[in-house]
Every structure is written in C-alpha cells, then in structure tokens.
C-alpha cells in the first residue's frame, strides 16, 4: 500500500521574494512556488508540481481528442530539411526555425510545428477516399527561436504543444473535422478552468469561419479582443467589424467656428460641450503607392494599423513636413475644401452619418453642422477602426465588452496548402487523384498552465482550480511533533487518499506561518488545518483557497465531505 | 457515452511484405503492423498503436517511480553548451552529441542524457543535508547522432528515454537510492512482460555492485551474457569471472608427441581423442609496452578483448612475421623452452591445472603429460577468458547458461563525478560544504517496446502481453453487413468496454482471411471471432493469440470471462 505524499519528499524550492525578471503574475508565481526554473533564455524546467498540473491538462486534451476520434501518435522532433524545402518553409520561416546539421552534414530543423511531417507520413499510405477522414495529433516539445523570449511560459523557445492535423476528402469533410476540433477546444478550456473565447481570426468565403483563436481572458494577454456576453461573439479588436454607436453632430446650417487651441478631439469636444463621439477625427496619411489621403473616423475611435494596411498598403502617417507639403493644417483638417490631390475617405461606420463637427482646413477653425451630401462628399469608404467596448455586437447587436487575451489554442482550415505543394493525394470514387483537404489544430500546453495561473491567483499566490491542481488537498498539521496533532493529520490524509483524493501533507518542522504562506503560494484548492484547539473539539479547519472561507469540520467527516466536493470539480 | 474503437478509425497502415531494410523481428513487425514509420535515418514516428503501447510502458515506469518516491519533472531538451563545458563533456562526447547555435550564436546541445541539467538545477537550491535525498526523473525524447543507426527502434538517433538522477548526502544514501531504483527497474521489466536480467557491469570496491544493466533476453541482442537460473546471477560474458569446469590432460611422464598437421585445438583434440577442454591454447601477443607474451587459456575458451586490454593495455595479437621474429612456431607454441624474452602467462582458470596437453615450440610436435611445477612454470596469472555456457556460477556454482541481451535499462552510481566538477554542494550537519553523491538511472522506453516484440512474436506477427498491448481484445465480425453477425459483435464489444476492457472492433469490409492475418500481425492478446455458425449455437470463438488456442464461448459469457482473465494479466 502506497501512502500519501509529503512535503518533505517534494522538490519545490519556494522563493520568498519576487524574482526581479518576472513581470507577469504567472511567471512570478510559478517561479516563487517552486514550479518552474529557467535554465537559459526562454528555456524552462517544469518541476514536479508544474509537471503534475501539465499531466492533468494533457489528460483532458487526450480525453477530448478521443471523444472526436483523433488519434495520438508522435513524430520525431528532428525534421528533415528536405521536407521543409518541399513545402517552401525552409526559406520562409526565418531565424525562428532552429536548424542543425547531423554528422553527415544533412540539414534538419527542430519542429516548431509539423505540417510537413504529418503530410509526409500519410502521403504514400492514405491512398483512397475510403480511408478518410483521419485526424492525428501529438503532444510534444516544440522549438521556436524567439527574438525576445519573455514572460516565463508565455513565450519560450522550447514549449509543450499539442498539434493535430486532419485529412479529408473534400471541403465539407474538412469543415466537419475543423468544427469537431473547435468544439473539443472549447470544452478543453472549460474543463481546465479557463475562461476563454473562440475569437474568429478569419471568415471563410462560403460562410462560417476558417480560423479561430482560443483566447484566455487575462490582463496579461498580448491580444486585445471584444466580445459579447449575450451571443458569444468574440473578435480581435484588430479584426472585428462591429457597428459603432453612431453619435451625430448637431443639425443646422454649415457654420465655421473659431476654435482657438482646439487641435485635438478632446479639446474640440470640450469646447463644443459634446461627447467625443459627436466629433470626427481626420487622419492624414500616404498610402503604399505614395498617394496622400485624409481618412475620417468617429472622434472616439482609433484607426487600426492592421486594417489600415489592408486599406492603404504599406502606408505611413504624414509627418509635420508632409502635412505642410500637401497643404494640410495640423489639428484642423476637414473634408470641405481639401487641398487639390489629397483623397478623402472615411471609415464605413460614418457612411450614414449626416452631421459632422470637423476641421475647416484653416488654422484655428472648425466647421459645425457640416452635412454629408450637402456640404461635402466622401470619395471612398474603408474599414479601419479598432473595435472597443460599447460598440455593438455584429451578431446580436448587444454592447460589446473589451478584454485582453492569451492565445492558448488555434484551429485552422489549411485546405490544400501543404497537400498540393508536397504532392499528397488520394484517389476519389472516380479514381481521380486529389490533394487532401487539411486542417491543423494547436494548443499551447505549457502556455495554458500559465494562463490558468493568470486567471486563478491573488496577492497570496496561485489558487488552482481542482481540475489542474498539482494536489487537490493539503493537510497542514500545525505541529508535526505533537502526539495529538500528527496522528489526526495522518489519519485525515489516509482517509482522503483512500477516497481517491490527491493529498499532500506538510510534514515539515516549520512554523505555522511558513506553512500557511507556502500553501497559499502553491495554491492547492483545499487546506485541512490540524491544530490542537480544533482537535480538542473533534474538529479540523477546512480552508477553501479560492475564497479564503474557513469552517470547522468534524475529523471523521472531512474526508467524505471533501472527496464528494472535489469529485464534482474535477476536469 | 463513448463507444468502442473501430479498425476503420485507426491509422495503422499494414504492409503485406517484409520491408527489405528490416533485419530484426521487432523492426520488421512494427513496420508491417503499421506501428512505426521511418522519417529519416534513425528517426521513427510512433503511429497510434505503438503510441498506446508506449503510454502503457510509461505508466508502469511512473507507478514504480512513485513507489520509490522519485519525482517526475521535465528539463529542456536544449541544453546550454556552457553546462557541457563545465562537466567536460562538450569536448569528450564527440560527434554523437548533436549541437546547434541559436540566433544569438550561443551553443546548445540536444540532450542525449541530462546529468548536467539536473546537477545545475539543484546546485543552488538544495542547500542542506536536511533536504536530501532527492530523486528526480523525466520521460523525454533523447538525441544521439549514431554513426550507424539501425534495427528500427533499437538504435535510433531520437528515442524516448526515462532518465533519473538521485542526490544524496553520503555514499550509504546513494547506495540506498541506487538499490531502490534497481528494484524498481526489475519490477518494471517484469510488469511490461520482459524477461530481463540485471547484469552487473561493475563491482564496487566496498562490496556490492555500482552499475547494473538490465538485459532483455533475445537472440537479436547486441550483448552476450551468461546467467544462472538458480541464484539469478548474470554478467556480460566480457565481464564475468566465472569458474570453468576444469578438464585436466592425462597424467604421466612428459612426452613429446609427433602431431603432424595439428595446428589447431580441434585438430589436436581429435588426434589425442580428448575433449578440447583437456587441451591448452597458446595465444601470442605484444602488449601495450611492446613486450611479447604467450598467454595460455583452456582449449575450449576464447580470450576476451576487453579483459585482455585490462591485462595487457593496448595489445595486439602477433602477426605471422612477429611470430617468426620472436622465435615462435605458429600452432605449436607451449610453455616449455619458450624463446628468450617472451613472457609466459595464463588465465587464472588454469592456476590449479596440473596436466597440460600443449605445443612443444617445435613444428609438428606437442607435449602430453606436461605437468605445471614439474615441467614448466607460469610467470603471471591474468583474467582474460570469455565466460560461456557450462561455466560455473561464481555465486552458487550451478552451470551457467548463455544468451544474448538487449540493454533496456541501466542504473549507475555516479558518486561525485558531476557534483565536484560542477560545484554542486550542500551543507552537512557540521556546516561543511560537500558535493552530492549522485546516481543516474536510465530506461530506453522506445527500445523497451522493441524488446517486448523481440520476446513476444511468432511467424504470424506480434503477440503482445496484455500489459503493453495497444488493445487487449479485438472483436472480429466475419461479415459486418450480416444482420446476425454485426449486432453480436457490437454487443460483445459494448460489454467488454463496459467491463473496462480495451477493445477494438475490426469493422472493415474485408475478407475473414485479411482480418485474421492483421489481427495476428498486430498482436492483440485475445480475439473474439463472431461468425454465423457459432452464433447459431449462441457462441463466439475466443482465440488466444499467444497459444493459438481456440474455444467456443457463450455470447453472454465472453465479456465477463475475458475481463476477469485480462484484469489478472495487466501490468
């Protein structure tokens, strides 16, 4: 019979101080709790506690993959350079692809992803449409030589990834495989305790999405997203096309107002005593072909760089010198009397806006009651603004919320991109050779652990959900040498173990304060504190890490109470 | 509710023909059964069936490691070149160590083993004897750029390995950690169905062994070993010091016999009508210092190269020219009247041998009844012979058996080799800084799978033990379109699944012959064949893969019968 785990048998060197190099909570807390250690820039060891959590995340992934019929396997990390040449990525990938030569001077890459390997694997063995569909996946260390590795497990150079690849006979099949994965990914996020949103990265031409990123909501996230609590819509602010709450300027006859010093939207709105949304912002730029433009957007929205590149190519905002060169007056640009040769365009959200408050192309003057169609016309409509909280959900019209997100997974319809270039074909029912319709699906497993910590921590440390906690319960005997306290702690731990609970006992000869601090730092969901006073009443103290709630529970009841509660909280 | 696995949902492309490049049974059968595929020289993908077996092996390893308190974790595959320089292995390792530079031109190695990484991990965080012992391990892809990768999973360039490292305060602690691992390794081999012997590679000075290799017995093994069925002794033939069955020559007065053409032991033994063991073989060599020697060994034993190097340094056997130069007569060398300057020595096994039949240093003549002490003396005794079947167990005296073995694991007492060179110390009870006493422990996980196949196969394919079988039972409906057969097959599969058995159904529209052949090839331990005829009697046919035994079993009893039997056979 095995006995319960003990803190003295656990390698988890905790740190009392915050490590200077760690900006993010997850980076800081995983280091402090003795769960990870840096071995070189962007390279981390997962110590035993982190490894237990990672194994739980992997188990959830495996279970959901089995549920959709995806099959686990493993291809080598070393991938033949020849395969990368076939796909064209040997030259396209750049320095992020880690390369080496073997002793026979043959080139290899350390796989950052394995589209080539899996396409190569099946291309001579999946020969008929009858064998399709097939979805294969693996969980494996991946390598990307990031220019600036940072944020601990968030952006490392070696990281654990689940990557999967589907092979279908036609587009409909690929879409089904893709949708199966998308559903599984949403369930995986939920089961590991992550609040994550499926953010549409790209919309298909036929309808439906062709790529979705799963974004775990967290202030530390690198991506900005808007989402709808009502219908579940979510999009990157850079990609969203969300209707805005259009606020019109005042109606009236065109009037040129002296607006001294009102060179910004904030100044103008304050001067006019209207919300910024009722004003219009003019942005002067030169497009990729060298043509000057003035682009108008609502006063309370920003132009987005990615969208602007779609609209204007390799554009740049005009410098002060260029403004002068094109006859534009900084801070007072408007659509009426624009200088010769400067194009006028506006964001689509202003298409139906009648009344504008806008610069007069005259230093120190703005127009109010400028009416589109009467006083000016816009030559071209573009989609360039960044969506923001309060804009309307494009699906259901409800107000959107804004958040930051950590990309923990992505599903992608590849189509025939790899199968065509690498000559991976099958025979259709008529005997015609066709390239596979492929999908690829990735989860950042180690990053997912960091994301869980970002969502589940407080000022005292990590507060793991049961689903991915290294241990579910920590038993804390306040004095291991006490001949009343220790037997109770040991008894409770044995009972928990017998009930199938993952329990660890802090059997160190440390002060209670040290034990409490470490327990809160490591974030086991439940703590059973065994002290003399409570035991005198036949009780132990049960602390819920997430809420801080403490209750006294009878010694003989705590194991059954906890095991029932934990069973309902497992992944 | 999940349903049973189906062959149509399994990626396992079988091959009808033996692959030309595969010499070993495991290589051939794992390829043919669609379990592995080569992606480049020495680089293999593990397809879904192999992956399932590997996961089972890993689960057994994890369970046994937990049992001895070893903690699982993971260090990066990319290891900083600086660490390898500290240990001295950067230059010592040679071209087997795969190296690369990152984008900042920093050198890294792909870990072939991780002594440096683990020593580095603990050297600043395990500070006191109170924190010891600690044993850490990982299961990870390892890299060795073998000059000649071969035999499939046996000798690859990327392979799965379990490697563990123990840190102790003193030698006694290290020996306990080492013995715990040794015990666990023996149990792991047994549980995965391997007949393996712990072969002592090195004996300690204090007593007890300091390194043991676990050798799975198989004709395909690269190592030759002798072992004792009685007491469990096992040793590499190159390292064993086993007493031989000494056979004496005949007694009598020294007699010089004309032995025309008897230039070999076989000739001489036949001529004298005695066993080869009753003769003595003379081996002429030049030792590392350039001194000539004649070394005598029993007529039925070979000199062993490794042992001879211990005895003679960088020696070489004399060429015909050298024999002439030193005055020796090829085929007729003996201890009586050896030419001036040529040393005489003999294997220790001949120390107590009185009567020799041996060359007379005269072309065409041998001595019989040559008596050691009376007619000649031996100047030096060495240990140079290779042990062989029939030699006596050095522990219990029983006759040894010989076999070939595949090294699947090794345990090793490192002592302070790495801790001293890398400055990894802890404070002892007196506050004195001391280097850790370390041990290292490895299992070739992917090689272990190949070893299982070497031990468990026949002319039809693999015959997996339940412990590591990808599926425990295959249900084989002879006709999936038959409305009697299919419902029975599906029913039996559901019952097996509900009883916790890992079951796969061959739901392909293939002829029975194809299904039987694939089932035997893939080696699931039990097959439940569902055919019309047996079903008419309320039965299915149960086939035991290992024995070929077939019995009819009632449809409603087969699941409970199999689940009970399989439960007792699991790892």
DSSP letters for B18-61: PPTT--SHHHHHHHHTTSEEEEETTEEEE-HHHHHHHHHHHHHH
Chains A, B: CB contacts within 8 A come to 134
- Interface check for A19 against chain B (CB to CB < 8 A): the answer is no
Query: Residues with Cβ < 8 Å from B563, sequence gap 6 or more?
Result: B496, B499, B500, B501
Min CA distance, B25 vs chain A (Å)? 22
Kind plus residue range of the DSSP H or E element containing A234: strand A234-236
Residues of chain A found within 8 Å of residue B40, distances taken between Cβ atoms:
76, 78, 80, 106, 108
Q: What is the pLDDT of residues A238-296, one digit of tens each?
A: 888 889 999 999 999 999 999 988 889 999 999 999 999 999 999 999 999 999 999 99
Q: Which residue has the higher pLDDT, A235 or A64?
A: A64
State CA B200 to chain mean position distance.
12
Above 60 in pLDDT, residue A204? no
Asked if residues B127 and B428 have their Cβ atoms less than 8 Å apart, the reply is no
- Interface check for A79 against chain B (CB to CB < 8 A): the answer is yes
Min CA distance, B80 vs chain A (Å)? 7
pLDDT confidence tier of residue A203, bands split at 50, 70 and 90:
low
* pLDDT for the residue numbered A209: 83
B355-359/B461-462 β-pairing: unpaired
Q: What is the pLDDT of residues B291-319, one digit of tens each?
A: 999 999 999 999 999 899 999 999 999 99
d(Cα A45, Cα A492) in Å, to the nearest integer? Answer: 33
User: Which of A2, A3, A4, A11 to probe the B interface (max B CBs under 10 A)?
Assistant: A11
Kind plus residue range of the DSSP H or E element containing A433: strand A433-435
d(Cα A283, Cα A384) in Å, to the nearest integer? Answer: 11
Residues 543-562 of A with CB under 8 A from B: none
State CA A88 to chain mean position distance.
28
Above 80 in pLDDT, residue A202? no
Residues 506-545 of A with CB under 8 A from B: none
Q: Do A47 and B73 lie within an 8 Å CB cutoff?
A: yes
Asked if residues B368 and B273 have their Cβ atoms less than 8 Å apart, the reply is no
Omega before residue A387 within 30° of 0, cis = no
Omega before residue A133 within 30° of 0, cis = yes
Q: What does the pLDDT average to over B30-40?
A: 97
Query: Residues with Cβ < 8 Å from A37, sequence gap 6 or more?
Result: A31, A44, A45, A47, B121, B125
Nearest to B71 among A2, A10, A121 (CB): A10
Query: Residues with Cβ < 8 Å from B462, sequence gap 6 or more?
Result: B29, B30, B33, B453, B456, B521, B522, B523
Helices first, then strands: H and E counts in chain B: 15, 32
* pLDDT for the residue numbered B205: 55
Above 80 in pLDDT, residue A205? no
pLDDT confidence tier of residue A37, bands split at 50, 70 and 90:
very high
Residues of chain A found within 8 Å of residue B157, distances taken between Cβ atoms:
78, 102
Q: Do A76 and B43 lie within an 8 Å CB cutoff?
A: yes
Q: Do A45 and B117 lie within an 8 Å CB cutoff?
A: yes
Of A409, A434, A431, A408, give the one whose Cα is nearest residue A167: A434
| Level-2 CATH architecture, domain A255-382 | Alpha-Beta Complex (3.90)
- Interface check for B15 against chain A (CB to CB < 8 A): the answer is no
Searching chain A, which residue's CA lies closest to the CA of residue B116?
Answer: A39
d(Cα A398, Cα A400) in Å, to the nearest integer? Answer: 6
Q: Do B77 and A158 lie within an 8 Å CB cutoff?
A: yes
d(Cα A555, Cα A535) in Å, to the nearest integer? Answer: 8
Searching chain A, which residue's CA lies closest to the CA of residue B146?
Answer: A103
Asked if residues B271 and B259 have their Cβ atoms less than 8 Å apart, the reply is yes
- Interface check for A15 against chain B (CB to CB < 8 A): the answer is no
Asked if residues B524 and B539 have their Cβ atoms less than 8 Å apart, the reply is no
d(Cα B432, Cα A206) in Å, to the nearest integer? Answer: 74
Omega before residue B133 within 30° of 0, cis = yes
Mean pLDDT for all residues in chain A: 95
Residues of chain A found within 8 Å of residue B145, distances taken between Cβ atoms:
102-103
Query: Residues with Cβ < 8 Å from A348, sequence gap 6 or more?
Result: A381, A382, A383
**Whether CATH 3.40.50.12280 fits B471-567:** no
Residues of chain A found within 8 Å of residue B66, distances taken between Cβ atoms:
2
d(Cα B463, Cα B475) in Å, to the nearest integer? Answer: 16
Residues of chain B found within 8 Å of residue A108, distances taken between Cβ atoms:
40
Q: What is the pLDDT of residues A420-473, one digit of tens each?
A: 999 999 999 999 999 999 999 999 999 999 999 999 999 999 999 999 999 999
Q: Do B51 and A69 lie within an 8 Å CB cutoff?
A: no
Nearest to B45 among A73, A134, A141 (CB): A73
Min CA distance, A525 vs chain B (Å)? 21
- Interface check for B46 against chain A (CB to CB < 8 A): the answer is yes
- The ranges assigned to domains in chain A are 25-241+402-453, 255-382, 471-567
Asked if residues B382 and B305 have their Cβ atoms less than 8 Å apart, the reply is no
- Interface check for A44 against chain B (CB to CB < 8 A): the answer is yes
Ramachandran region, residue B58 (left: φ > 0; alpha: ψ -120 to 50; beta: rest): alpha
d(Cα B33, Cα B31) in Å, to the nearest integer? Answer: 6
Q: Do B9 and A141 lie within an 8 Å CB cutoff?
A: no
* 3-state SS, one letter per residue, for A237-279: CCCCCCCCCCCCCCCCCCEEEECCCCCCHHHHHHHHCCCHHHC
pLDDT confidence tier of residue A1, bands split at 50, 70 and 90:
low
Q: What is the pLDDT of residues B63-121, one digit of tens each?
A: 999 999 999 999 999 999 999 999 999 999 999 999 999 999 999 999 999 999 999 99
Burial class (CB in 10 A: 0-12, 13-18, 19+), A373: exposed
**pTM recorded for the entire structure:** 0.91
DSSP B339: P
* pLDDT for the residue numbered B487: 97
Query: Residues with Cβ < 8 Å from B89, sequence gap 6 or more?
Result: B97, B116
Above 60 in pLDDT, residue B515? yes
pLDDT confidence tier of residue A172, bands split at 50, 70 and 90:
very high
Two tokens at A231? 């219908």
Asked if residues B474 and B519 have their Cβ atoms less than 8 Å apart, the reply is yes
Task: Write down the CATH number for the domain with range B25-194+415-453.
Answer: 3.30.930.10
| Level-2 CATH architecture, domain A25-241+402-453 | 2-Layer Sandwich (3.30)
State CA A92 to chain mean position distance.
25
Searching chain B, which residue's CA lies closest to the CA of residue A68?
Answer: B2
Min CA distance, B118 vs chain A (Å)? 10
Of A90, A67, A89, give the one whose Cα is nearest residue A417: A89
State CA B457 to chain mean position distance.
18
Q: List b or e across B205-231, with b for residues whose CB sees 16 or more CB atoms inside 10 angstroms.
A: eeeebbbbbbbbbbebbeebbbbbeee
Q: What is the pLDDT of residues B133-190, one digit of tens each?
A: 999 999 999 999 999 998 999 999 999 999 999 999 999 999 999 999 999 999 999 9
Q: What does the pLDDT average to over B514-523?
A: 97
pLDDT confidence tier of residue A410, bands split at 50, 70 and 90:
very high
Residues 81-140 of B with CB under 8 A from A: 95, 98-100, 102-103, 106, 108, 110, 117, 120-122, 125-126, 134, 136, 140
- Residue B99 has phi, psi (to 5 degrees) of -125, 155
- Interface check for B68 against chain A (CB to CB < 8 A): the answer is no
Searching chain A, which residue's CA lies closest to the CA of residue B158?
Answer: A76
d(Cα B377, Cα B279) in Å, to the nearest integer? Answer: 17
Searching chain A, which residue's CA lies closest to the CA of residue B80?
Answer: A40
**Bridge partners of residue B437, in order along the sequence:** B168
Q: What does the pLDDT average to over B420-428?
A: 96
Residue where the block lists tokens 């490049």: B21
Q: What is the pLDDT of residues B184-229, one digit of tens each?
A: 999 999 999 999 999 987 665 555 788 999 999 999 998 899 999 9
> DSSP string of B83-143?
HHHHHTHHHHSGGGSEEEE-TT--EEEE-SS-HHHHHHHHHTT--BGGG--EEEEEEEEEE
- Interface check for A307 against chain B (CB to CB < 8 A): the answer is no
Nearest to A72 among B48, B75, B120 (CB): B48
Residues 143-202 of B with CB under 8 A from A: 143, 145, 147, 157-158
């Amino acid at each position: 019979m095995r006995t319960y785990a003990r803190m003295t048998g656990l390698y988890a060197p905790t740190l009392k101080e915050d490590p200077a190099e760690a900006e993010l909570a997850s980076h800081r807390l995983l280091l402090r709790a003795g769960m990870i250690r840096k071995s070189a820039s962007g390279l981390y060891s997962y110590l035993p506690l982190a490894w237990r959590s990672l194994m739980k995340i992997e188990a959830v992934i495996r279970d959901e993959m089995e549920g959709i019929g995806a099959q686990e396997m493993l291809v080598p990390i070393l991938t033949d350079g020849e395969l990368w040449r076939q796909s064209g990525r040997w030259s396209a990938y750049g320095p992020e692809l880690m390369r080496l030569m073997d002793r026979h001077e043959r080139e290899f890459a350390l796989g950052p992803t394995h589209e080539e390997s899996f396409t190569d694997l099946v291309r001579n063995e999946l020969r008929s449409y009858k064998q399709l569909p097939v979805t294969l996946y693996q969980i494996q260390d991946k390598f990307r030589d990031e220019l600036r590795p940072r944020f601990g497990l968030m952006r490392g150079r070696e990281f654990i990834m689940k990557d999967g690849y589907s092979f279908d006979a036609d587009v409909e099949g690929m879409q089904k495989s893709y949708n199966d994965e998308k559903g599984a990914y949403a369930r995986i996020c939920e089961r590991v305790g992550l609040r994550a949103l499926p953010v549409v990265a790209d919309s298909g031409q036929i309808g439906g999405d062709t790529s979705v990123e799963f974004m775990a909501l967290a202030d530390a996230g690198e991506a900005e997203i808007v989402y709808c609590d009502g219908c579940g819509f979510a999009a990157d602010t850079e990609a969203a096309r969300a209707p805005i709450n259009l606020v019109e300027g005042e109606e009236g006859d065109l009037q040129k107002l002296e607006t001294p010093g009102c060179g910004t939207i904030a100044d103008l709105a304050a001067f006019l005593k209207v919300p910024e949304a009722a004003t219009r912002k003019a942005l002067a730029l030169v497009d990729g072909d060298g043509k000057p433009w003035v682009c108008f957007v609502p006063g309370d929205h920003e132009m987005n760089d990615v969208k602007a590149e779609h609209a204007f190519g390799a554009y740049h905002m005009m410098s002060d010198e260029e403004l002068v060169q094109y006859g534009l007056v900084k801070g007072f640009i408007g659509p009426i009397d624009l200088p010769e040769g400067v194009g006028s365009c506006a964001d689509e959200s202003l298409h139906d806006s009648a009344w504008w408050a806008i610069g007069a192309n005259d230093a120190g003057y703005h127009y109010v009651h400028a009416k589109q169609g009467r006083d000016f016309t816009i030559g071209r409509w573009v989609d360039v603004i960044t969506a923001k909280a309060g804009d309307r959900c494009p699906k259901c019209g409800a107000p959107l919320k804004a958040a930051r997100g950590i990309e923990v997974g992505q599903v992608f319809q590849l189509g025939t991109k790899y199968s065509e270039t690498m000559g991976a074909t099958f025979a259709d029912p008529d005997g015609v050779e066709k390239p596979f319709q492929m999908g690829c699906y990735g989860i950042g497993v180690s990053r997912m652990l960091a994301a869980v910590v970002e969502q589940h921590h407080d000022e005292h440390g990590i507060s793991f959900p049961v689903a991915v906690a290294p241990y579910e319960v920590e038993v804390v005997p306040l004095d291991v040498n006490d001949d009343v306290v220790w037997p109770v702690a040991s008894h409770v731990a044995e009972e928990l173990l017998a009930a199938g609970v993952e329990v660890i006992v802090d059997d160190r000869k440390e002060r209670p304060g040290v034990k409490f601090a470490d327990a809160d730092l490591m974030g086991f969901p439940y703590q059973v504190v065994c002290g003399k006073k409570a035991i005198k009443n036949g009780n132990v103290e049960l602390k819920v890490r997430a809420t801080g709630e403490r209750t006294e529970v009878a010694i003989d009841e705590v194991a059954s109470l906890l095991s029932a509660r934990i069973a309902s909280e497992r992944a």
